[in-house]
C-alpha cells in the first residue's frame, strides 16, 4: 500500500461514518461545511491548549503587517486574534483534506466563516439547479486541446477586487461578457460591475425571491438577462466600481460598449464545459468557496467539499501539467479567475481539480455571446 492510499482509506472510512450523520444535517447547517469537515478531521490540534504549536503570535504579527491590519480597540484586536487562531486550525484541517493545494494564512484569516461569506461571496442561493431554459447546444468534444487558457489569447482582463461587498456574481458576469465581446469584436474592454450592482434588480423566474441585489448577492444568468434587456454594459472607466450598493443607478445607454446577443446554461458535463469554454470564451460558474478562504496555491482537490454554491467566478481555462508531489501527478484542473484582487491565491487565480464536480464547480455554468455594440 503506498503512502497515498492509507490516509485516504482512513479519511474514506471517516467519511462513510459521517455520511450517516449527514442525512440529519439540516440545510441551515449546510450554510457552513465546517461541522462536516470537523467531523472528518477531528485532529488533536483542534483544542485551544496547544496554540503554541501553531506559533500563532508570530503568524498574527506577520499577518497584521503583511495585510496592513489595524484594529480600533484592544478588545477588537483580541477578538480578531481568537478568530485568527481558529482559522489557523481550519487551515490545518483544510490542508489534511486538500493535500494537493497549499492552505494557510490569507488576507481573510481574521474573519469568521460567516463574515467571510457575507462580505466576500454573494451568489444567490439556488434550491434547484438551472433548468432547461436556454440550454446550450451539445458541442463536439473530440478535438479539444489538452490544455487551454484564454489568458494566452487576450480574452481576459486583469484581476479585479470586489472588496467587502457580496457582488461576486457581477464580476463573474462581466468576465464572461468581456471574453465574449473580445471574441465578437477583437477588443478587450473592461466592463462595469457597478452598473450591475446599482441597476440590475432582475429576478430569477424559477427561484422565488432570488433577485440581483448589489452587495447582497445575485446570479450571473439574471445579470445576463438584465444586460440583454437594457442593451448592454458600460466600460469600467465610464462607470467605475465603488464596492457599495447605496448609490442610485447612473446607467447611460449612450455609453454601452458590450451587448449580449444570447446566453445559455451548459450541461453538467466536463467535456461540454470544456467545449463551450473553447468555443464561446470564459464561462461564468458557481462554486462552493469554503476552501478558498484558506487557499494559497496549488490545485485544490478536497476529499470532501459541499456542493451548494455560494460564489460566482470565471472559468478561463484548464490544464493537466504536473504540479504537485508525484503522487498527484497529472491531475487535470480548471483555471478560475477570482475577484479578490491579485493578493489572493495564485495572483488572483484558483486551480481546482477537474473530473468530479468538486465543490460543485460543474453545477452552474453559463455561457454568453456578445454582439458588436454600435456606440452612439
Ligand atoms: C446563441 O444562439 C446560437 C443560435 O441558437 C447558438 O448556436 C449559440 O450556442 C448560442 N450561444 C450562447 C453563448 O448561448
264 C-alpha vs ligand 1 centroid, how far in Å? 7
The partner residues of 366 in beta bridges, in order of sequence, read: 265, 284
Residue 189 confidence (pLDDT) above 60: yes
Domain boundary among 78, 102, 119: 119
Does 352 lie in the same domain as 282?
yes
Q: Which CATH number do you get for residue 235?
A: 3.90.70.10
Domain extent, residue 16, equals: 2-119
* Model confidence, pTM: 0.86
Between CA 337 and CA 285 the distance in angstroms is 10
Q: CA end-to-end span of the chain, whole Å?
A: 68
pLDDT of residue 123: 87
Does 186 lie in the same domain as 44?
no
Assign 73 to helix, strand or coil.
Answer: coil
Does 136 lie in the same domain as 95?
no
- Higher-confidence residue of 374 and 195: namely 195
Residue 22 confidence (pLDDT) above 70: no
Per-residue pLDDT band for 126 (boundaries 50, 70, 90) equals low
- Beta-carbon count within 10 A of 186 CB: 9
Sign of CA dihedral 32, 35, 37, 42: positive
For the residues 37-54, what does the mean pLDDT come to? 54
pLDDT of residue 37: 66
- C-alpha cell read off for 222: 439574471
The percentage of the chain sitting over the pLDDT mark of 70, rounded to a whole number, equals 80
Domain boundary among 100, 119, 138: 119
Closest CA to 223 of 176, 187, 179, 185: 176
Does 104 lie in the same domain as 186?
no
For the residues 90-102, what does the mean pLDDT come to? 95
Does 245 lie in the same domain as 360?
yes
Q: Which CATH number do you get for residue 59?
A: 1.10.287.2250
pLDDT of residue 15: 44
Domain boundary among 67, 90, 119: 119
Per-residue pLDDT band for 325 (boundaries 50, 70, 90) equals low
The percentage of the chain sitting over the pLDDT mark of 90, rounded to a whole number, equals 69
Does 285 lie in the same domain as 143?
yes
Does 92 lie in the same domain as 50?
yes
Q: Is 168 labeled as catalytic in the residue annotation? A: yes
124: left (phi > 0), else alpha (psi -120 to 50), else beta? beta
For the residues 349-353, what does the mean pLDDT come to? 96
In this structure, the residue with its CA closest to atom 3 of ligand 1 is 262
Length of the chain, in residues: 376
340 CB less than 6 Å from ligand 1?
A: no
Residue 21 confidence (pLDDT) above 50: no
371 CB less than 6 Å from ligand 1?
A: no
**How many separate domains does the chain show?**
2
Does 184 lie in the same domain as 259?
yes
Does 84 lie in the same domain as 17?
yes
Amino acid at each position: 500500500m503506498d503512502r497515498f492510499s492509507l490516509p485516504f482509506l482512513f479519511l474514506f472510512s471517516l467519511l462513510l461514518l459521517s455520511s450517516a450523520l449527514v442525512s440529519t444535517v439540516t440545510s441551515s447547517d449546510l450554510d457552513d461545511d465546517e461541522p462536516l469537515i470537523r467531523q472528518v478531521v477531528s485532529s488533536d490540534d483542534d483544542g485551544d491548549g496547544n496554540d503554541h504549536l501553531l506559533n500563532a503570535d508570530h503568524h498574527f504579527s506577520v499577518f497584521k503587517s503583511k495585510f496592513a491590519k489595524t484594529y480600533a480597540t484592544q478588545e477588537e484586536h483580541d477578538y480578531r486574534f481568537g478568530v485568527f487562531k481558529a482559522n489557523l486550525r481550519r487551515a490545518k484541517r483544510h490542508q489534511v483534506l486538500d493535500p494537493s493545494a497549499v492552505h494557510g494564512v490569507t488576507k481573510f484569516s481574521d474573519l469568521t466563516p460567516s463574515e467571510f461569506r457575507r462580505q466576500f461571496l454573494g451568489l444567490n442561493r439556488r434550491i434547484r439547479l438551472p433548468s432547461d431554459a436556454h440550454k446550450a447546444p451539445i458541442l463536439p468534444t473530440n478535438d479539444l486541446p489538452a490544455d487551454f487558457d484564454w489568458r494566452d489569447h487576450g480574452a481576459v482582463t486583469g484581476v479585479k477586487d470586489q472588496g467587502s461587498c457580496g457582488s461576486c456574481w457581477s464580476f463573474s458576469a462581466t468576465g464572461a461578457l468581456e471574453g465574449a465581446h473580445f471574441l465578437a469584436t477583437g477588443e478587450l474592454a473592461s466592463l462595469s460591475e457597478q452598473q450591475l450592482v446599482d441597476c440590475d434588480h432582475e429576478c430569477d423566474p424559477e427561484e422565488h425571491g432570488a433577485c440581483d441585489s448589489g452587495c447582497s448577492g445575485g446570479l450571473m444568468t439574471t445579470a445576463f438577462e438584465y444586460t440583454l434587456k437594457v442593451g448592454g454594459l458600460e466600460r469600467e472607466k465610464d462607470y467605475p466600481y465603488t464596492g457599495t450598493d447605496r448609490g442610485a443607478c447612473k446607467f447611460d445607454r449612450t455609453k454601452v460598449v458590450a451587448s449580449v446577443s444570447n446566453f445559455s446554461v451548459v450541461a453538467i458535463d466536463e467535456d461540454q464545459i470544456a467545449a463551450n469554454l473553447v468555443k464561446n470564451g470564459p464561462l461564468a460558474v458557481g462554486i462552493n468557496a469554503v476552501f478558498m478562504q484558506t487557499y494559497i496555491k496549488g490545485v485544490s482537490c478536497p476529499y470532501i467539499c459541499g456542493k451548494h454554491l455560494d460564489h460566482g467566478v470565471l472559468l478561463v481555462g484548464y490544464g493537466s501539467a504536473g504540479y504537485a508531489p508525484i503522487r498527484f501527478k497529472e491531475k487535470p484542473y480548471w483555471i478560475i479567475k477570482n475577484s479578490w484582487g491579485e493578493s489572493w491565491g495564485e495572483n488572483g487565480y484558483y486551480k481546482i481539480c477537474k473530473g468530479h464536480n468538486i465543490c460543485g464547480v460543474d453545477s452552474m455554468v453559463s455561457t454568453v455571446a456578445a454582439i458588436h455594440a454600435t456606440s452612439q
